[in-house]
């Protein structure tokens, strides 16, 4: 499997897992079938569309490849009919969100580097790709985005570290398909470990007299 094919497969998997988290969030928020589909599609495609607009890939991949629209629709349909079984996973939304975070961190960073961006810019765009859909999901569900809650476990930090690893491996010529998949697993695992251990980013310092 070529690196380009591996990244494409990773992005398709990311579409499904992010769409699943969006559909589950919609059901938890009491949305109807239209809201479930819209939130699934927005969660899956939001970060990628923003990435493509920034790097000048017009039209964005979401509007060029039918699979990009079809896969979130399939995920929304599965969750619509089987959400009690999916929801029994307990922290299903967070688990699927962690999976999407890892996959989109890798694909976003690689696509930015392929477009000729520098390492720093690629890392920023990789993180933007990974968290963009989740932020839009939370806003549409009328919730404070997970990204901005100081009381929540690490979210952008695992993505940032993963994007740096991907950028360094890419520039060094080490980013083989297995390495890309490994980086996605690392980010997802880091996020889940932060959830389990309660790791949080520091908030603003309070100066005491």
Question: Domain ranges in the chain?
Answer: 3-197
**What would the pLDDT profile of 68-119 be if each residue is shown by its tens digit?**
999 999 999 998 888 776 666 556 667 777 888 888 899 899 999 999 999 9
Read off the DSSP letter of residue 2: -
In this prediction, residue 208 carries a pLDDT of: 58
CB atoms within 10 A of CB 141: 18
- Both tokens assigned to 202: 């520091």
pLDDT band at 18 (very low <50, low <70, confident <90, very high): confident
**What distance in Å separates the CA atoms of residue 180 and residue 185, rounded to the nearest whole number?**
9
Q: To the nearest whole percent, how much of the chain has pLDDT over 70?
A: 88
- Going from the C-alpha of 146 to that of each of 52, 90, 97, 138, the distances in angstroms are 23, 18, 11, 7
**What would the pLDDT profile of 128-172 be if each residue is shown by its tens digit?**
999 888 889 888 988 878 777 666 678 888 999 999 999 998 888
């Amino acid at each position: 499997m070529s690196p380009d094919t591996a990244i494409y497969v990773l992005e398709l998997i990311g579409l499904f897992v992010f769409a699943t988290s969006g559909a589950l969030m919609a059901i938890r928020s009491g949305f109807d079938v239209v809201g479930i589909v819209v939130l699934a599609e927005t969660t899956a495609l939001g970060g990628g569309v923003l990435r493509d607009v920034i790097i000048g890939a017009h039209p964005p991949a979401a509007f060029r490849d039918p699979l990009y629209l079809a896969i979130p629709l399939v995920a929304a349909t599965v969750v619509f009919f089987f959400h009690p079984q999916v929801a029994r996973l307990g922290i299903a939304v967070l688990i699927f969100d962690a999976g999407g975070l890892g996959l989109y961190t890798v694909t976003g960073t690689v696509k930015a580097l392929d477009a000729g961006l520098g390492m720093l810019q690629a890392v920023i765009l990789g993180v933007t790709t990974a968290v963009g859909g989740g932020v839009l999901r939370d806003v549409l569900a009328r919730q404070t985005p997970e990204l901005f809650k100081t009381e929540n476990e690490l979210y952008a930090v695992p993505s940032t570290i993963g994007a740096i690893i991907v950028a360094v491996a890419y520039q060094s010529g080490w980013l083989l398909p297995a390495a890309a998949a490994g980086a996605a697993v690392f980010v997802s695992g880091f996020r889940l470990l932060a959830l389990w251990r309660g790791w949080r980013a520091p908030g603003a310092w309070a100066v005491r007299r």
